[in-house]
Structure 1
Amino acid sequence: MPDSPSDEVTDDAYEAPYDLAVIGAGCAGLAGAVTASELGLSVALLDASGQIGGQFYRRPAPALGAKRPEALHHDWSAFADLRGRLEASEVVHLAGHHVWAVTRGSEGGAGWAVHAVTGPDGGGDRPVRVRARTVLLATGAYERHLPFPGWTLPGVVGAGGAQAMMKSGLVLPGSRVVVAGSGPLLLAVASSLATAGAHVPAVVEASGYLGYARRPGVLAANPQKLVEALVHGAALLRYGVRLRTRSAVTEVHGSDRVEAVTVSRVDRDWRPVRGAGRRIACDALAVGHGLVPQTELATGLGCATRRTPDGAYALVLDGLQETSVPGLWAAGETGGIGGAQLARAEGDIAGIAVAARVYGQPALTRDGRVRKLQRRRDRMRAFADVMAAAHAPGPGWVRWPDDTTEVCRCEEVTAGAIREAVTDYGAHDARTVKLLTRAGMGWCQGRVCGAAVACLAAGPGDGSVPPSAERRPLAVPVPLGVLGALEPDDAGADSTGRPDATGPDPGAEQTS
């Protein structure tokens, strides 16, 4: 099935309820959709992008004329297999669909209603609704950003953003690019940049790699991860890229764009070591401090969450990938950051589990294929937990931003304003800071600044505190005209007119 824009989808796609609606066409969503379809279910696959593959398998538009887009990717054969299975299936691919809410359905046997706005940026002329008996959330993750002086200068991009620029636009963020932050993504980004022709003077890792050595059994059970690290390490050696561990970029210098960065040694809590700063000339900085599961749709429905080893929130899932809300499954990064291979395994498990529920045949989940997938998932999930613990942000990073550093870029809220809200007005959580300063009320709705605001609100010494797993009625920005055009039944409203977000109260129980 080719990638197709949403305006080519006919109204028939929104009529009869599906057995399964999959939200997200990345590795997990594709695996879940095609597996369920191959077992005979009717499946709708919704994604905001115009093409399948998610963030991991971003690729250039055909107009750019890339001859070998697979050269920009790791494990391309796995994606090619998924794409071939999708093309051979009867999955209805709804591209350019930005899902803003999932509500309980009330008609036609559909358990759920998935609400979306269409178009490349969600600016379509009408809202759409997809009804389904079950839902699989495969919404992925977004980057964790920790602010420091100069991080808003042109030329500073997310580490994942730099990779996306290469994969989808065939462009580099600069000619001399420092890669910094924490996590294994840095090695992949640096090797890709260097291979594409950028000069990478340094990879700056705030943590170290000794944390992996504390779990030798987990490492031995995941040899492919060691192979990946060796491949990236060999690329860095080939291009003369220096790896600096226990270090962080604590300041960016420049007027109109990046001209240099200050790299400081940090202690185990990520506190800068006085007098240990070094200036490195560059014209771009690719920086990221790991990934955060994107769980807004699930927490809006009351799904239980758990704290991950790096302080984020991920969904609580059972052995078959079902959330705490019956009829709602999740796969991939929503259950914790783990990579493409883990996402595919979880998607396969979820697809089979949904089919077993729809058909009323639990035996489908007890055969050898499912047990093999579960063993693979558990092995890779154990490695993911080790990885998260090894690269967890230290509380000392809150000393990086001075009072003039912008934390919330959308609303131009500085670290000083947040500290004032804490010390002078008694704010001790992100929500109160938000009400006092508007931090997190902008277009990104706290996706960029949420972690930083929560850490600064917690005060000195608690910099590892993440944002709470909030329950929101809208997962993405929606025009008021779209909401005004909805009938109460279309919005899944209860008798009070509020969106019907059934499930347990997340204020009462958020962690496992």
Structure 2
Amino acid sequence: MPSSASEPYDLAVIGAGPAGLSGAATASELGLSVALLDASGQVGGQFYRHPDPAAGVARPEALHHGWSAFVELRRRQEASGVAHLAGHHVWTVTGQDGDWAVHAVTGADGEGERPVRVRARALLLATGSYERQLPFPGWTLPGVVGAGGAQAMLKSGLVLPGSRIVVAGSGPLLLAVASSLAAAGARVPAVVEASGYLRYARRPLALAANPQKMTEAVVHGSALLRHRVRPLLHSAVTEVHGAQRVEAVTVSRLDRDWRPLPGTGRRIECDALAVGHGLAPQIELATGLGCATRRTADATTALVLDDLQETSVAGVWSAGETGGVGGAQLAIAEGELAALAVAARLRRQSAQGGQSAPGQLRRARRLRRRRARMRVFADVMAASHAPGTGWPSWLSDDTDVCRCEEVTAGRIREAVDELGAHDARTAKLLTRAGMGWCQGRMCGAAVACLAAGGGVPPSDERRLLAVPVPLAVLGSLDEPTEDH
């Protein structure tokens, strides 16, 4: 903790997932005062999401892979004196290197009880990612949920979205979701993967350097075999059927560009669909600060980071999925590396000066080698599951693309063909696509693709507000604010 209420923290960590927990615990162990802010009431993020203790679940680890790593992170965080600020929805960050102000509201879903400001000398952004969705006819029916959302329902609420669930989309998350749903008692007729897995085999050195990933694949694959779950590769759910909720889906074979092959559609009966096409880094806070971005191999937008996890903005570090999706172990390593770098920087800037201890330098070198090895695999994974340019052929003109504003594919195509929209921003201004409550998190990739005429272009849009915030909070910015 700071020496007084008026003193800033040495480090504010935003996000209490694997990267944030690792960074916060390491920084505190190195002698820094640390504030850990997160919207959730519990640490762990999406990956280590678990039931509320009040639920009395005896073995939450049964629903997780690598639970022991989380237990150790939580132990270190609780023992280190980190100030855990739960239920804090961070909506923007202001300031400059050495003098940052993190603005948040408290309360459920951001409907704040009060505005809060946390001051810090350095920032570590560990905001994770969110699921990327590509629309198709019927995707707004009740019973269609995100693949990660289905897993979150199971982990946090011990509930299933249905009893007969098709899992579809692209990416290794599908295997984990399908195996966990099947283990929980759901019938999973098929895992529908739009890509395949041959690209992994083309990079044997990346596989050999990351044997734990192969182990995870074997574990999930064995679970699917045990529960008789069919993998359908190079295929996609191209339509959902049902009146009041999901009753069945049509699965079509795809060509190499993800266009459905005529005559290959098959109907699979189900009462729920868990679907997702990978994860997209959640970088709104970072881009609001002007941090540089890069295009990833799977057509998302990630932050540009240096060898020590610092962004292009001095005094702002980032770790985990914000730099490109790569999994919990990579996030933990990056959080630790960023904390070492922050501690070294602040030590040099302090009145005492000084250099990093040799042990810390060796530790940083080991972490950099580990990060490089895991990043290679992350790049292979991203390239293997990148969306094909032909997926918009799934869409009929009356398919809703923007669910919040009920904007159809036909309206966006009209904006492009007749009104001259050639990017997502112009399409948004002409159709309101992306202006709803989710602020484009659900439809942004699809709108950008339709506007650009193919692929899924990255987004460099800067936003002042990273999350929805009550107008009363904006109106009270000039009034005294409670500081932590």
Shorter-chain TM range is over 0.9
Displacement of 1:13 in angstroms is 9.2
Displacement of 1:467 in angstroms is 4.1
Mapped contact 2:305–2:323 kept (Cα < 8 A): yes
Tell me the equivalent position of 1:214: 202
Q: Are 1:363 and 2:346 matched, yes or no?
A: no
Tell me the equivalent position of 1:336: 324
Displacement of 1:67 in angstroms is 1.0
TM-score normalized with structure 1 length: 0.91
1:408–1:343 distance in 2 versus 1, CA, 3 Å? same
Secondary structure at the counterpart of residue 261 of structure 2: strand
Mapped contact 1:14–1:128 kept (Cα < 8 A): no
Q: Are 1:405 and 2:399 matched, yes or no?
A: yes
* 1:67-90 deviation per Cα after TM superposition (whole angstroms, max 9, x unaligned): 101110000000000111111111
1:314–1:466 distance in 2 versus 1, CA, 3 Å? same
Distance 1:387 1:357 in 2: 33
Tell me the equivalent position of 2:64: 73
* 1:322-377 deviation per Cα after TM superposition (whole angstroms, max 9, x unaligned): 00001000000000000000000000000110000111145358622111111111
Q: Are 1:322 and 2:310 matched, yes or no?
A: yes
- One-letter amino acid of the structure 2 residue matched with residue 89 of structure 1: S
* 1:466-500 deviation per Cα after TM superposition (whole angstroms, max 9, x unaligned): 24221111100111110010118979xxxxxxxxx
Tell me the equivalent position of 1:142: 130
Tell me the equivalent position of 2:35: 44
Matches within 5 A, 1:386-465: 386-459=380-453, 462=454, 464-465=455-456
- Identity within the alignment, %: 75
Mapped contact 1:110–1:131 kept (Cα < 8 A): no
1:14–1:162 distance in 2 versus 1, CA, 3 Å? farther
* 1:132-163 deviation per Cα after TM superposition (whole angstroms, max 9, x unaligned): 00000000000000000000000000000000
TM-score normalized with structure 2 length: 0.96
Tell me the equivalent position of 1:255: 243
Secondary structure at the counterpart of residue 203 of structure 1: strand
- One-letter amino acid of the structure 2 residue matched with residue 56 of structure 1: F
- One-letter amino acid of the structure 2 residue matched with residue 352 of structure 1: L
Which segments of 5 or more consecutive residues in structure 2 lack a partner in the other structure? 349-353
Mapped contact 2:17–2:126 kept (Cα < 8 A): yes
Tell me the equivalent position of 1:300: 288
Matches within 5 A, 1:53-452: 53-104=44-95, 110-360=98-348, 361-364=354-357, 367-452=361-446
Mapped contact 1:207–1:245 kept (Cα < 8 A): yes
1:67–1:455 distance in 2 versus 1, CA, 3 Å? same
1:243–1:155 distance in 2 versus 1, CA, 3 Å? same
Q: Are 1:18 and 2:12 matched, yes or no?
A: no
Mapped contact 2:133–2:442 kept (Cα < 8 A): yes
Tell me the equivalent position of 2:351: none
Distance 1:98 1:71 in 2: 29
Mapped contact 2:2–2:8 kept (Cα < 8 A): no
Mapped contact 1:50–1:120 kept (Cα < 8 A): no
- One-letter amino acid of the structure 2 residue matched with residue 93 of structure 1: H
Mapped contact 2:295–2:458 kept (Cα < 8 A): no
1:433–1:490 distance in 2 versus 1, CA, 3 Å? farther
- One-letter amino acid of the structure 1 residue matched with residue 403 of structure 2: R
Which segments of 5 or more consecutive residues in structure 1 lack a partner in the other structure? 1-9, 492-512
Distance 1:273 1:14 in 2: 64
Mapped contact 2:98–2:315 kept (Cα < 8 A): no
Distance 1:431 1:296 in 2: 16
Mapped contact 1:300–1:472 kept (Cα < 8 A): yes
Distance 1:362 1:85 in 2: 25
Distance 1:285 1:298 in 2: 33
Distance 1:75 1:467 in 2: 31
Secondary structure at the counterpart of residue 78 of structure 2: helix
Mapped contact 1:137–1:331 kept (Cα < 8 A): yes
Displacement of 1:46 in angstroms is 0.2
Displacement of 1:213 in angstroms is 1.3
Bigger drift between 34-43 and 115-124 goes to: 115-124
* 1:52-102 deviation per Cα after TM superposition (whole angstroms, max 9, x unaligned): 000001111123221101110000000000111111111100000000001
Mapped contact 1:321–1:350 kept (Cα < 8 A): yes
- One-letter amino acid of the structure 2 residue matched with residue 94 of structure 1: L
Distance 2:370 2:28 in 1: 22
Secondary structure at the counterpart of residue 262 of structure 1: strand
Q: Are 1:482 and 2:476 matched, yes or no?
A: no
1:67–1:489 distance in 2 versus 1, CA, 3 Å? closer
- RMSD across aligned positions (CA): 1.7
* 1:162-220 deviation per Cα after TM superposition (whole angstroms, max 9, x unaligned): 00000000000100000000000000000000000000000000001011111111111
